Amino acid sequence: AFLSVIDSGSFEAAAQALHLTSSAVSQRLKALESALGVTLMTRSRPCRATPAGQKLLQHLRRVKEMEQDLHSEYAGERHSAL
């Protein structure tokens, strides 16, 4: 939800992309910030990551890239097996 809000710039656009309500997205981000004990974004138009949020964004983007690499690798193995 955090990555989607930052990438789209708003809670509303993130909610649409995630097939959730804006309230659900907001609640998820509040829970994440509470668990981490830091503010991750400024709630403006567009929403922007704080310095702590930037660190999390870097991590999330690396994880997303690794997931895509792994998915591609498995897709290649599946085609090789045929």
pTM higher than 0.85 for the full model? no
CATH of the domain at 39: 1.10.10.10
15/23 Cα distance (integer angstroms) = 8
Number of domains in the chain: 1
Q: With the C-alpha atoms ordered 11, 16, 22, 27, is the resulting torsion angle positive or negative?
A: negative
**pLDDT tens-digit profile of 26-36?**
999 999 999 99
**pLDDT tens-digit profile of 22-74?**
999 999 999 999 999 999 999 999 999 999 999 999 999 999 999 999 999 88
Structural domain including 33 reads 2-81
78/6 Cα distance (integer angstroms) = 34
